[in-house]
Amino acid sequence: MADIVSLHLLSLLPAIYRITGITVAPQANGYEMTAQLHHASASLAVTWQARQPDVRLKPGALVSPRWKSTLAVLDQPVGIQRLVYLDRPERSENLFRTAPARDAFEAGLFERAGALWERLPLGFRELFNTVFWDGQRFLRYCTGPSSMIGHHARACGNLLHSVEVAETVLRLLPLHKAANEAVALFAALVHDAGKADEYQPRRHGGWTFTDRGSLIGHRTTVVEWLAVARSRMRLGIPDAHYLSLLHALTAAQAPDWIGLRRPQTPEAHLLSLADRASGHADLVNRHQAEEGGWGRSHPHLNGRPWTLPETPARRTLPGLEAVYQAAKAAQGQERQ
């Protein structure tokens, strides 16, 4: 009876977890290993015996427990056979479900990001997971800033900006009938991902450039990551979709002699519009006066923002999604 209950419980547990902490205690015949594992649907501590510690098992790593035939669920930590380090990306695993949240804001942000990832087709999911299977890179992507003094210049700012851009792109998609949702959505999620290696925290607070950030920059970094990840993929991305993705990520309004290409695809234009909207909105939100009128100056705003006084009527205006739903309903009535 115990075995049947255990097997049933095991079937309900996630297969993949992220290590958030690990300790190694020497024993007479080896080592006692204890690890804290996180998944959005189940977090637990596990323990097992090993002759030699696996040095790859460290905070941030993705792992899969090998359970015992009977599971003492009331024991903490739970005894297991061993913990397997996963070095090969799983295209079906939503990495945002393994991101440990420090507060309700981060939990909500990871949930929003995970919902966007779920909208991607399988090939783009695999590409994303291959880029971010490295636990420390994924952590920096999720928790780092989007700038040092500009928009979203705070912890988790880069992920928040990426989610805002992706959600805005989805809302703008009906304007571009020829736009490819997968390319546009993926580009939005990773357009600033290279900033994970562009900034590093200062010893006494704030952020500064890494050597890669000073010499290379986030646009080149993310293209490098994508090229390496694509070469390792099992499923693959069609050439046309990959070219459209790279164009959206690298196109810019710049003089021809610089060598960059101006936006020429719907996906590139959508990304540019949503990127500017998110960045500008964050600066205005942070520098506006709560009572309305002139706010505080910021160099990226070219002065001080001026806003109307906050009123209940403004808070109850329908969101953009409601506007689109109303427009679709009206179009349906016209066709009848």
Q: Which CATH number covers residue 31?
A: 2.40.50
277 falls in which pLDDT band (50, 70, 90)? very high
Query: pTM of the entire structure?
Result: 0.86
- Cα gap 167→112, rounded to integer Å: 9
Q: Which of 55, 85, 115 is the last residue of a domain?
A: 85
* pLDDT for 7: 53
pLDDT score of 161: 95
Share of the chain above pLDDT 90, in %: 62
User: Phi, psi (5° rounding) for residue 117?
Assistant: -60, -40
Residues 133 and 276 grouped into a single domain: yes
H or E stretch at 322:
helix 320-335
Smallest CA-to-CA distance from 33 within 16, 6, 55, 15 is with 55
Can you tell me the distance from the alpha carbon of 167 to that of 186, in angstroms, rounded to the nearest whole number? 11
Res 2: pLDDT: 41
Structural domain of 197: 95-285
Question: What region, left, alpha or beta, does residue 54 occupy, with left being phi > 0 and alpha being psi -120 to 50 degrees?
Answer: beta
pLDDT of residue 11: 67
The pLDDT of residue 73 is: 57
**Whether residue 43 is found in the same domain as residue 75:** yes
pLDDT of 147 > 90? The answer is no
C-alpha–C-alpha distance, residues 96 and 116, integer Å: 10
pLDDT confidence of residue 28 = 87
Please give the residue that has the higher pLDDT: either 59 or 254.
59
Clarify whether residues 47 and 68 are in a common domain.
Answer: yes
Same domain, 247 and 119: yes
* C-alpha triplet 186, 192, 196: angle, nearest 5°: 115
Q: Hunting for tokens 């995970």 — which residue is that?
A: 114
- Among 16-25, 59-68, 165-174, 314-323, the least confident range: 314-323
Are residues 278 and 155 part of one domain? yes
Q: Per-residue pLDDT averaged across 218-222, rounded?
A: 93
Instruction: Tell me: do 78 and 107 sit in the same domain.
Output: no
Closest CA relative to residue 22, chosen from 81, 67, 77: 77
Residue 335 pLDDT > 70, yes or no? no
User: Whole-number mean pLDDT of the chain?
Assistant: 86
Closest CA to 248 of 231, 223, 225: 223
Residue 50, class by beta-carbon neighbours within 10 Å (0-12 exposed, 13-18 middle, 19+ buried)?
middle
Label residue 310 by pLDDT band (50, 70, 90): confident
Which token pair is 265? 């695809």
Cα gap 217→204, rounded to integer Å: 24
Residue 129 has pLDDT above 90, yes or no: yes
Mean pLDDT of 291-312: 86
Candidates 213, 214, 156, 222; CA nearest to 186 is: 222
Instruction: Tell me what pLDDT residue 214 has.
Output: 93
Q: How far apart are CA 71 and CA 78, in angstroms?
A: 7
| Of the residues 66, 85, 104, the one at which a domain ends | 85
Rounded to whole angstroms, the Cα distance separating 105 from 87 reads: 30
Residues 75 and 106 occupy one common structural domain: no
> 3-class DSSP state for residue 82?
strand
Tell me the angle at which helices 239-250 and 266-287 cross, rounded to the nearest 10 degrees.
40
Q: Is residue 150 part of a domain?
A: yes
Helices 181-190 & 157-172, crossing angle to 10 degrees?
A: 160
Instruction: Give me the number of domains the chain comprises.
Output: 2
